[in-house]
Amino acid sequence: MASPCQWVRGVLAAYLDGELKSSTAEAVRRHLEGCESCRAHARLLRESWGLLEEVPPAPAPTGFTERMMARIVEEKDLSALASRLRPDRLRRQVVASVLGVAAGLVFGFAVYSWTGLPQEPASPVEREVSRNVSFLEDVDLLDEIAVIEAMDRLMSPDETGDGA
């Protein structure tokens, strides 16, 4: 907990500028009456401000206002970016991403376990069939084409002239 002197020195500039509400200003005034160290600090602060008032103001460099306004806009954009990248929000995004990847891996493993890898053919016949699967698929297709052609011949009028 801060000591009364630390608290008074923290609000002393606002007190000297008359910016404190009356109850706070009254508490500072009472503390200054009883504390020589804080009174000396307040006196030093007033004297420093007095010296600063004697220094003539320096003219602002050319383009100062434009650069400052651009910087204010830039810092506003950066603060918006920083608020989007707050550690708690970033942490939630990372956790959600990790959980998503983990869920995908679990799902993939479940599908893999369910379907499994193709087994090696056990017998020489199965090995021969697996090597010639594409040919056998084409044979099935050729059989279907032969059936279709046969049906077409039965459905079409006799081309040899033997029919009725």
In a domain, 79, yes or no: no
In a domain, 80, yes or no: no
Are residues 39 and 2 part of one domain? Answer: yes
Per-residue pLDDT of the chain (164 residues; tens, 9 = 90+): 468 899 999 999 999 999 999 999 999 999 999 999 999 999 999 998 888 888 888 888 899 888 888 888 887 777 776 666 666 776 777 888 888 888 888 888 787 777 766 667 677 777 777 776 666 556 555 556 666 666 667 777 665 545 44
In a domain, 92, yes or no: yes
Domain that holds residue 14: 1-56
Query: Rounded to whole angstroms, how far apart are CA atoms 78 and 41?
Result: 38
Are residues 45 and 3 part of one domain? Answer: yes
Q: How many domains does the chain have?
A: 3
In a domain, 28, yes or no: yes
Are residues 140 and 98 part of one domain? Answer: no
In a domain, 15, yes or no: yes
Are residues 47 and 2 part of one domain? Answer: yes
List C-alpha distances in Å: 81 to 5, 129, 136, 151. 39, 62, 62, 73
In a domain, 77, yes or no: no
How confident is the model at residue 158, as a pLDDT?
61
Buried b (16+ CB within 10 A) or exposed e, 113-146: eeeeeeeeeeeeeeeeeeeeeeeeeeeeeeeeee
- Name the pTM for this structure: 0.37
